[in-house]
Each structure stands twice: as C-alpha cells, then as structure tokens.
C-alpha cells in the first residue's frame, strides 16, 4: 500500500506540475493578445489543418520556456539561457564573461556551443540524449557495484577484522541481515531500477525539459564513479577533475573516489594510494584552468565562475538556503556568514570518509546529497541524481523508519512550490516568506532523509557484526575459517576441550 501511495503521489505531482505549465502558458498567451491565433486564422487560407502544427510547435516551445524559467529548475549557474548569452558575446569578439551573464567555465561553454545555433527540436533531442546517457552510465555503475566488496555483507566487518579474527573480509560467509531487506537476485533488477528511477523521476524530467546544463555535471560524475569502481584510476581522477572544474562542489567527492581507488580488487589488483590520487587530481585541475586561460586569453572566468559560487552575489530565489538569508542580513555581517555557510559544506567530507571508509559508494551518495542541499545555487536536478543512486543500498535502507513520511513531505513541497511562487510574484498576495518557508522544508526533509539513511546503514552494519559474533561463538566460520591461522585455531580447540572436561 505504501508503494502504491507513493506511485500515486508521484503521478499526482506530474499532473499538477503539468497544470502549472498550462497556467503559465495561458498567461503568456493572454499577454500576446491572441495575435498568433488571429494570424493563424488569416494565414494559409484559414485552413484549420494548416494552423494546428504551427500552433502545436509554438505551444511546445512556450511550455519549454516556462519550465526553463522556473527557479526550481534553472539557476544562474545552470541556465542554458546564460550559455546563449555567453556564446553571443564570444561571437561578437568580446569576452563571454563580460557583464554578469555566464557563470560556467570555458570548456563547458564550448561543449554547449553547438546547441546554441541548433533548432529547438534538435536542442530538445540533444538534452534528452544526454539524460539517456546518464541513465545508461548509472546502470553500469549499479552493475559494477554489485560485483564490488561493498555489496557483500562482509563489508560491514571492515575495520573489525582483528576483533573477529578474520584476515580477509571477502572470505567471511555472512548472510544479509533481514531477508525482508531484499529477496531475489539483485543483478536481475537493480541496474534497470537505478536507470529507470533517474529517467522517470519528475525532477529529472523537469531538468531535461528546462534544458538545464546540470546534465553535463551528472554525466561526468557518473562516469567518474563508474571508472573508479572498475579500477581505472587515471581516467576516474581526470573525470572528477573536470567535474570539479565545471561545478566546484563536485570536488568534495574526492575522498570517496580516493577510497574506491585505494582498495584492492577481488582479482588481486592493487589499489592506488590516496596521496597519488590527490596529487593527480590537483595537477589535472590546474591543467584545466591553464587550458581555459589559453582558450579565452584571460583569467576573467575565475571570478565569474568560482567567485560567483563562493561569494553568492546573485540572490535570485532558488531551492537553496543562501538567497533569503543573505537578502535579509546586514552587509557588514555578510563576509562572516559567507565563510560559515561555505565552511559548513566543506566540513563534512573528511569526517564522513573516516566513518564510512568501508562504504565508499555510500559515502559518495551522502556527499552528493550534501551538495544538493547546501550548495550556493541548487536545483531539483541535484536531488534527482541522489535519488537515482539510493536503490544501490536498498538492503541497508530497508531499515529506514520514516522514509514514507519524508517522501510525502517532498511531494507536498513540490506541489506547493509553484503555487506559493504564483502568490508571491504574480498575484502579489504573498511575500518572500511564503516561498522561503518551502525551501527550508525541502532542505529539512532532505537532511532527515540523509540522516535516516545513514542510521539505517549503521544499524545494518551492527546487525551483521552481531551475527558474526554469534557465529564465532557457535563455531560457524564458513569460508572465513581459511583466514584464521593454525595457532589461533589450535588455541580455540584447546579451550573447547578443557571446557568439555570441566563439564
């Protein structure tokens, strides 16, 4: 019943969002004064059959523009309109960073430059293809994850091997805790589920229709995770460097990638040291910055891209927490609180990497979620990428206690967001507090989801360790018996014999 209710709620969100787009298109049509309709009736001999295709194309274009103008979908950083403005300045012989239009680095501008001159239909297909590529890469990520050590229950024993007298966790035969956490073979359905959740999530659909350039960040991060899981160290670090170059907050994924590359594979292939990973990351990022300087002939992009993200000069409303706070705060306190807000994001990766060193994939999911909640200019597309990766931990997350209620909160916020925006901006019957309250609830629901998922994973690990301790007492070692040395086994057998004699 809960699954059916969630699916029904998701369909309800899609329908309500579509109704909001219809309303937005209706307002723009009324402002046009029906001129396009009148021209259609007078042109082409007044034929109704000749008027429908043009009207349908215009309606589709207006709906795409309505979605792309939504502050929940496009931000000053990810808006494709900013790419078009930067490309126009570049074509006129000036710097694409003149003024306050473009906040993407040069190579990202060059990537999307062919889309600027393409038609609307070609552009829409191109963004859909990029989204499909992200889904395919996420499917491969799920397949590689199922072959990794983290997908096995013995992953919970990492860091506790000395306590349980096991030399190699991969040889420890422990079943999953709780058969209700997932029955059947994960290999059969999990990769497809991850891809479909990303493709059919309402937030992903809105980002695709709104032509958000965030899809490039998703593609590069997904490729970095895939190459790290498949032990392609150099390629993974290069991809993470480009992701950081494109979106600075992606650099917080470095601990997760370093942990993935540092672990030895099941076929005996040695991992790459963390120091080497960090050094290669810094060199690749520096080369990208120098290459950008050579490409456009100036360092203007540094302040326009990275200074814009750190200093937050544009306080346009979005689903984040920065805009309203710095709109209301006094100017002489702004520098202090900017440091606090940015430091708050940067403080999480290292402690989480220490605590979740045995689960680097889950660490990456947590860091992506933190970026989606607390970065300067977030959008709903950031959250959809985290939701798509969530099923990888479906056995562990089955222990979440309040997931259903938190998902309902997210659904209600998604429905109310365009309504409160309409009350504030269009009708003027509300104020900014209406909309900011929803963004706070949206962030709080995501924070609670993240904390609930971490607690569920910790409970799962404790359950596996408790089960391992019980098997130690009962003498059920399974494959882990090969990991014990002869001296410890002889000592344990002597203890059992002495206890039998006493009895």
The DSSP secondary structure of 435-464, one letter per residue, reads HHHHHHHHHHHHHHHHHHHHHHHHHHHHHH
C-alpha R_g of the chain: 26
Q: What is the pLDDT of residue 264?
A: 55
Looking up tokens 């990456």 gives 364
Q: What is the pLDDT of residue 313?
A: 92
Nearest to 464 by CA among 186, 157, 160, 147: 157
Measure the N-to-C terminal CA separation of the chain; round to a whole number of Å. 54
Count of CB atoms situated within 10 Å of the CB of 379 = 27
Q: What is the pLDDT of residue 13?
A: 46
Residue 187: partners with Cβ closer than 8 Å, 6 or more residues away:
143, 146
Q: What is the pLDDT of residue 176?
A: 55
- Give the C-alpha separation, 364 to 58, whole Å: 42
The CA-based angle 322-325-326, given to 5 degrees, is: 80
This prediction's pTM: 0.81
- Give the C-alpha separation, 464 to 163, whole Å: 14
Q: What is the pLDDT of residue 50?
A: 37
Distances (CA, A) of 166 to 49, 210, 324: 76, 53, 53
Q: What is the pLDDT of residue 308?
A: 95
- Give the C-alpha separation, 387 to 183, whole Å: 21
Which tokens hold the place of 270?
């040695």
Q: 431-461 burial string, b = 16+ CB within 10 Å, else e?
A: eeebbbebbebbbebbeebbebbbebbeebb
Count of CB atoms situated within 10 Å of the CB of 313 = 10
- Give the C-alpha separation, 166 to 359, whole Å: 19
Distances (CA, A) of 257 to 28, 159, 364, 475: 47, 19, 8, 37
Q: What is the pLDDT of residue 157?
A: 72
Nearest to 155 by CA among 143, 144, 165, 168: 168
Contact 288, 302 (CB under 8 A): no
Helix axes 48-68, 35-42, angle to 10 degrees: 160
* pLDDT tens, residue order, the chain (503 aa): 444 444 444 444 444 444 444 444 443 343 343 333 333 333 333 333 333 344 556 666 777 778 888 999 999 999 999 999 999 999 998 899 988 889 999 999 999 999 998 888 899 899 999 999 999 999 999 999 998 888 887 777 765 554 555 545 555 555 555 544 444 466 678 999 999 999 999 999 999 999 999 999 999 999 999 999 998 999 999 999 999 999 999 999 999 999 999 875 555 556 678 889 999 999 999 999 999 999 999 999 999 999 999 999 999 999 999 999 999 988 899 999 999 999 999 999 999 999 999 899 999 999 999 999 999 999 999 999 999 999 999 888 888 888 889 999 999 999 999 999 998 988 888 888 889 999 999 999 999 999 999 999 999 988 888 877 776 666 654 444 444 454 455 556 666 566 666 65
- Give the C-alpha separation, 87 to 96, whole Å: 6
Half-sphere exposure of 24 (CA within 13 A, CB side): 23
- Give the C-alpha separation, 157 to 172, whole Å: 9
Distances (CA, A) of 108 to 37, 313, 385: 39, 21, 20
- Give the C-alpha separation, 338 to 315, whole Å: 13
Nearest to 182 by CA among 220, 158, 217, 151: 151
* Ramachandran class of 484: left when φ > 0, alpha when ψ lies in -120 to 50, beta otherwise: beta
């Amino acid at each position: 019943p809960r699954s059916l209710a969630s699916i029904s709620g998701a369909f309800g969100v899609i329908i309500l969002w579509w109704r909001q787009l219809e309303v937005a298109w209706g307002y723009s049509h009324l402002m046009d004064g029906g001129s396009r309709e009148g021209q259609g009736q007078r042109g082409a001999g007044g034929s109704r059959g000749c008027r429908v295709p043009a009207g349908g194309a215009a309606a589709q274009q207006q709906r795409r523009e309505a979605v792309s103008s939504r502050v929940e979908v496009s931000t000053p950083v990810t808006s494709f309109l900013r790419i078009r403005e930067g490309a126009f300045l570049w074509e006129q012989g000036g710097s694409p960073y003149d003024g306050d239009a473009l906040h993407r680095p040069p190579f990202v501008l060059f990537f999307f430059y062919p889309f600027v001159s393409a038609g609307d239909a070609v552009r829409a297909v191109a963004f859909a293809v990029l989204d499909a590529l992200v889904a395919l890469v996420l499917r491969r990520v799920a397949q590689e994850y199922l072959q990794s050590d983290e997908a096995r229950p013995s992953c919970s024993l990492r860091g506790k091997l000395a306590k349980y007298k096991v030399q190699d966790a991969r040889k420890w035969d422990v079943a999953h805790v709780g058969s209700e956490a997932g029955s059947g073979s994960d290999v059969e359905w999990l990769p497809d589920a991850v891809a479909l959740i990303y493709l059919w999530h309402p937030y992903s659909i809105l980002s695709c229709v709104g032509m958000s350039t965030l899809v490039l960040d998703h593609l590069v991060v997904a490729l970095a995770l895939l190459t790290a899981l498949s032990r392609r160290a150099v390629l993974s670090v290069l991809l993470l460097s480009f992701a950081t170059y494109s979106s600075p907050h992606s650099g917080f994924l470095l601990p997760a990638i370093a942990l993935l590359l540092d672990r030895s594979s099941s076929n005996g292939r040695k991992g790459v040291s963390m120091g080497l990973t960090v050094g290669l990351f810094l060199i690749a990022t520096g080369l990208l910055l120098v290459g950008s300087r050579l490409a456009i002939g100036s360092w203007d992009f540094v302040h326009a891209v990275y200074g814009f993200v750190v200093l937050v000069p544009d306080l346009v409303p979005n689903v984040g927490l920065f805009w309203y706070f710095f709109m209301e705060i006094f100017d002489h306190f702004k520098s202090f609180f900017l440091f606090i807000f940015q430091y708050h994001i940067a403080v999480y990766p290292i402690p989480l990497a220490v605590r979740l060193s045995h689960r680097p994939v889950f660490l990456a999911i947590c860091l992506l979620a933190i970026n989606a909640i607390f970065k300067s200019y977030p959008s709903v597309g950031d959250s959809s990428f985290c939701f798509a990766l969530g099923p990888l931990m479906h056995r562990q997350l089955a222990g979440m206690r309040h997931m259903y209620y938190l998902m309902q909160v997210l659904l209600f916020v998604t429905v109310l967001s365009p309504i409160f925006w309409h009350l504030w901006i269009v009708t003027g019957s509300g104020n900014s507090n209406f909309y900011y309250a929803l963004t706070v609830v949206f962030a709080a629901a995501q924070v609670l989801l993240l904390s609930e998922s971490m607690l569920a994973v910790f409970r799962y690990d404790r359950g596996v360790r408790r089960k391992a301790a019980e098997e130690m007492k009962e003498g059920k070692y399974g494959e882990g018996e090969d990991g014990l040395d002869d001296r410890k086994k002889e000592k344990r057998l002597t203890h059992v014999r002495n206890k039998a004699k006493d009895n």
